[in-house]
Amino acid sequence: MIEMHDIWKTYADGTSALNGVSVKIDRNEFVYLVGPSGAGKSTFMKLIYREEIPTKGEIFVNGFNIGKLKQRKIPYIRRNIGVVFQDFRLLPKLTVFENVAFAMEAIEAPRKVIRKRTLEVLELVGLKHKYKNFPSQLSGGEQQRVSIARAIVNNPAVIVADEPTGNLDPDTSVEIMHLLEEINFRGTTIVMATHNKEIVNSMRKRVIAIENGNIVRDVQRGEYGYEI
Ligand code: ADP
Ligand code: ADP
C-alpha cells in the first residue's frame, strides 16, 4: 500500500528531515508513528499525501510513484488519501454537511451521490443529527469526527492522521481512537503520528519510531517506548 525506498528529504533552508528511510506498510495495517518533536514524523506523512516530495528516493502509494506524479494527477492521488490534523482544519463558514460534502464536490461527484454519501459518513461518525451546525457550535471531539468524516468520504485507501488526539481530553481521545479503529476494520490503512503513550500502549498495533530522520524501531504490536 505504502512503500518508501531510501527516502531523503531536505527542506529548502537545508534542514534534513528524513535521512534514507525505507519502509513497507501493507493494505489494512494500522501504524503508529512515534518519536520526539522534530524527528521527521510530519514530513513522513506529508510525503505520503504528497504535500511534499522527496529530495531523493521513491515513494509508492497505492501503486503510484507519487514523487514523480504529474501535476494534473495530484487530485487523483489526494482522493485516495484522507488526511486528519490535530487542529481539525474545518472551514468555519461552512456547516458540518458542507464541510464534508466539499471534499466530494472537489472530485465532481453528482449532487445526489454527494448528499447520500455525506449523510452516510456523518452517521458513521455519530454526527448526522448535527449536519446543519457550524464547527464553532461543536466540541473538539465532534469537530474531529467531522474532519474524520471528511477524510473518509471519498473512500480513500489510506488515512494519514497527524496527532489527531493532540487537542482532545483523554476520554474524547479514546472515542476518536475507537472510530479510527472501526474505519481500519472496514478496510482503510491508517498511519497515525502521536505522542499519546496511553493510546499506543493500549491499542498494541505496529509502532514505527523515527528519530533524527531515521527509523530506529519498527515492531508489530509495539509500545510507545518513550517516557513523557
Ligand atoms: P515531527 O513531525 O516529528 O515533529 P517534522 O517532520 O515536522 O518532525 O520536522 C522534521 C525536521 O524538519 C525538523 O527539524 C523541522 O524543524 C524541519 N522542518 C519541517 N518542516 C520544514 C520546512 N517547511 N522547512 C524547513 N524545515 C522544516
Ligand atoms: P496548496 O497546494 O496551496 O498547499 P493543498 O490543496 O495542497 O493546497 O492543501 C491545502 C491544505 O489541505 C493544506 O493544509 C494541506 O496540508 C491540506 N491537504 C492536502 N491534501 C489533503 C487531503 N488529501 N486531505 C485533507 N487535507 C489535505
Q: Which ligand is nearest to the CA of 148?
A: 2
Question: How far, CA to CA in Å, does 3 sit from each of 28, 63, 114, 219?
Answer: 14, 9, 32, 17
Ligand 1 atom nearest the C-alpha of 36 is 3
pLDDT digits (tens, 9 = 90+) for 95-116: 999 999 999 987 888 999 999 9
pLDDT digits (tens, 9 = 90+) for 141-195: 999 999 999 999 999 999 999 999 999 999 999 999 999 999 999 999 999 999 9
Pocket test for ligand 2, best of 71, 83, 100, 144 (most atoms within 8 A of CB): 83
Pocket test for ligand 1, best of 13, 33, 43 (most atoms within 8 A of CB): 43
Q: How confident is the model at residue 136 (pLDDT cuts 50, 70, 90)?
A: very high
Q: By alpha-carbon position, which residue is closest to atom 5 of ligand 2?
A: 51
Q: By alpha-carbon position, which residue is closest to atom 23 of ligand 1?
A: 11
| Whole-number pLDDT of residue 54 | 96
Compute, in angstroms, the gap from residue 9 CA to the centroid of ligand 1.
Answer: 10
Q: Which of 27-31, 63-67, 173-177 has the lowest mean pLDDT?
A: 63-67
First CA to last CA across the chain, in angstroms?
32
Q: Is the CB of 51 under 6 A from ligand 2?
A: yes
Ligand 2 atom nearest the C-alpha of 78 is 23
Q: Which ligand is nearest to the CA of 107?
A: 2
Q: By alpha-carbon position, which residue is closest to atom 24 of ligand 1?
A: 11
Would the CA dihedral through 130, 183, 37, 56 be positive or negative? Answer: negative
Q: Which residue has the higher pLDDT, 63 or 201?
A: 201
Compute, in angstroms, the gap from residue 40 CA to the centroid of ligand 1.
Answer: 6
Q: Which ligand is nearest to the CA of 42?
A: 1
Q: Is the confidence at residue 134, as pLDDT, over 80?
A: yes
Pocket test for ligand 2, best of 46, 53, 78, 88 (most atoms within 8 A of CB): 78
